[in-house]
Amino acid sequence: MSASHTQAATATPGAGLLGDTSDTQSRARFSWIPYLWFAPAIVVLFLVTLYPTFFVGWLSFQKTRYYELTGFVGLANFYEVFGSSAFWNTVFVSLAYVVGSLAGAVVLGMAAALVLNNAGATGSVLRVFILFPWTLSMSVVGSIWLWLLNPSFGPIPYLMQAVGIEPGLMLGDPGLALPLIIIVTAWWSFPYVMVMATAAMQSIPKELYEAVEIDGGGALVKFRYVTLTHILPTLGSTALTLSIMYLTLMTLIIVMTGGGPLGSTTTLSFEAFRGTVQAVNIGPTAVVSIVVLLINVALGVVYTRLTGRVTG
């Protein structure tokens, strides 16, 4: 109804020449109703997303005593965090963790999708089984792998010994702990890549493969110029979703290594968690959270653009 009023008002030439017409027009144009409909969503969004985000931002400029703000300290928390070598070590560990896990998950997921895509009914059944790790909670995954990798009684070190490889300390080795956590994360998350890649592959028209065959192209050409070209945007957005998830993931680390040994598996999110639990002044921890947030926002922007491409 208000729309028709607006249309009528704007459609009348010279309406603005009369003294009280513009007021009447504004009244006709303005309506609280759309805002009222949106209000619950805006309130919920503010409470669960925006308020905590702004609060963490505000916290990063404060000194706190536990959760009580005790004074504005300007950029002191930022200087403290960015001036610490431990922070940069944590950034490096986080990036290595994200990149390593992503590489593992994408390679494994793609391989599984390609193999199972042409496997007919068997492929469908296997896909269900392969999806299993993704359905498990992180704490369960961590506990299972903690047992599998236990250097005293774990099956993996046992098998390594059986074939003549010295398993070493496994998660107790500062040089090996991060690669092992990366392998576990990739194992847990590759089914997601497989599902997304399979869905994208199944939407590729068969005619394109036939066209390549007519032109004499082999399997590699089909993969490079048809499959990969079509699934790349999906793969990109999947990779970004996983990157964001990896960057905020810490349950696996809490269960498997507690950030050790010697800080070799301490990521930014784990440090933010530990800081919130242990520190009296959580201002510097807020800075770490903001760094995670900014990286995720940047990845989110890229993700939005990629999904924009996918959905057209």
Contact present, 164 and 235 (Cβ < 8 Å):
no
**Structure tokens belonging to residue 186:** 């990739």
Helix or strand holding residue 117 (H, E): helix 85-117
For residue 5, state whether it binds another protein (rule: CB under 8 A). Answer: no
The DSSP annotation for 227-265 comes to IHHHHHHHHHHHHHHHHHHHHH--HHHHHHTTT-STTTT
**Binds another protein (CB under 8 A): choice among 207, 278, 311, 312:** 278
Minimum CB–partner distance for residue 272 and another protein (Å): 14
Q: Count CA within 13 A, CB hemisphere, residue 196.
A: 25
> Binding marks (x or -) toward another protein, 132..171, rule CB under 8 A?
--------------xx--xxxx---------------xxx
For residue 127, count other CB atoms closer than 10 A to its CB: 18
Of residues 172 through 191, those in contact with another protein by CB under 8 A are: 172-174, 177
With the C-alpha atoms ordered 68, 69, 71, 76, is the resulting torsion angle positive or negative? Answer: positive
Among 258, 297, 301, 309, binds another protein (CB under 8 A): 258
111, 148, 255, 302: residue in contact with another protein (rule CB under 8 A):
255
Nearest-approach distance from CB 295 to another protein, in angstroms: 25
Q: Which stretch binds another protein (CB under 8 A): 48-56, 204-212, 222-230, 275-283?
A: 275-283
Distance CA 197, CA 101 (A): 17
The answer to whether residue 236 forms part of the interface with another protein (CB under 8 A) is no
Considering only CA atoms, which of 247, 135, 146, 245 is closest in space to residue 191?
135
Q: Which residues, numbered 60-89, are part of the site for another protein (CB under 8 A)?
A: 66-68
Indicate whether 92 belongs to the interface with another protein (CB under 8 A). Answer: no
Residues found near another protein in the complex (CB under 8 A): 66-68, 146-147, 150-153, 169-174, 177, 254-263, 274, 277-281
